Structure 1
Amino acid sequence: MILKNNISLSFLCFLFIALSVNSQNSTIKGYKIRGENVIFIFNVNDYPNIKNNGDTIDDVFVSGEFNNWAKDQWRMNKVNDSVYKLQKDLSIFTSDFDWEFKFIVNSEHWAEPSRDFKNIVDARDYKGQKLMTYNLKLYSAFATDYGNVTFKLKGYEDAEKVVLSGTFNRWDETNFKMKPTEDGWEVTLQLRPDIYKYKFIIDNHHWIEDPQNPSKVENEFGGFNSVIDVQKNIEFRLCDYQNAESVILSGDFNDWSEDTYRMTRVNDCWVFNQKLSGGKYHYKFIVDGEWIIDPVNSVKEYDNKGNVNSVCMVK
């Protein structure tokens, strides 16, 4: 198994499949996702209506569904006379697959995307009626050379086209086209930690589950969807307990076991690494038999028994 950016892929039954890299070309405009960050990129040369109006650019903001289309909250940083950038933590976004957005210049001019952009969608008014302009789309799942999950389908060499479809792209039937290989088809995606359902579409109409993946669930059509669990490596660390003889990590991810996850002493801290799917987890440390919350984690919640637990969010 190949790990990339501390993210791994496993079946629900914890059987892991190998990851690999393939080549994907992208003409997506307006942003890049690198590691745990979204980098919004405005290049005035991509927007003739801004470049040709002759105005000096004083400021550029990002406005979209993720910030309720606010026009003055997400100010971008000037890189040079043509390019502005803004970096945001990917974890602040919801688990939705996509978000519409645009750039607004000098607080009044919307940068209008070209029809040549791959990631455009018709802009609509509040009644759902199409306007004569486009919005950009940000996708949390996308095909890339540097993705963390490779889907492979062996055989079907005579097929004209194979597409990957799943909950990570709202079962879109066209977006993730697979590339032919010597023994079948494959595509590499960048996916956030979560549990996903998926299928392969052969020549537009033949939907099949992944024959190499034994993990599957029944769907509403009487068939089955394949299931993968994309996990992220989380490091739990407890410091300033150098004199402790034993420290154990316990949480809802291990059924609150009191002896399974024994932490390792590393210099002045106790450390344990655990792969987790996307979601919210409660945990505590057991120091020489005494239960304590994480002293450096301010996020905590009460459980149904009135106990206070630390909270770990995996996104």
Structure 2
Amino acid sequence: MKKFICILLIFSVLNFSAVLVKDDKVVFTFKEAVDAKVVYLAGTFNNWSSSSIAMEKEEGVWKISLKLEPGTYQYKYVIDGKNWKEDPEAPGYVDDGFGGKNGIFTLVEKDGKLVVLKGEEKKENKKEVNKNFDPKKMFVDDEGYVVIRFEHKGADYVTIAGNFNKWNAEETECYEVDDGVWEAVLELSEGDYQYKFVVNGTNWVTDPNAPAFVDDGFGGKNGFFQVYKKDGKLTVGLK
């Protein structure tokens, strides 16, 4: 009898988790924002688009099912297209770069079935200083904009994504200022920033000239820089 109750309790926990697998699809459920007109799901699986995955409301609970490949994913909910909200029942959490948390989970295949594993909370992301950083390729111009130059020959177009634009791979275009030299112009306030360049809409590339690098959570590196004031002037690099 005790064994039956224990199994029942485990099933109940899994059944009411915010992220679970059902019929080979990952099901997300969000029990808050009951008065919202629309709730979107945004994450690393859709380049953090705030309007491409609309959830459906069923008996006061927002739900959506996605077909995902095994891997580690981060996500958040977007209420009425503008209010980004972390999942209070996420399998795990990771710093979102804005003082909040993203939900995180790992999807693995076990015995022929997909299983959701709890994500690990990352409390510290150590910086690897780039000794070859060239300040001529990252600077603050006379108008106070942060300029980042990136060399990539053969690209049709390049964008930049980071915690300054919620990792949106489509929002911030770069301009080709010379053959194979692309330039991002950003209006940023003081703070810490992570970023990558996105080549031709699909290829996420770490800037080899970033002042420093941090783990991106997927086995790669994000570029890292700080915007701060020095002698009363806005500066970019590392403090």
TM-score range, shorter chain: 0.3 to 0.5
Q: Find the structure with the greater CA-based Rg.
A: 1
Structure-2-length-normalised TM-score: 0.38
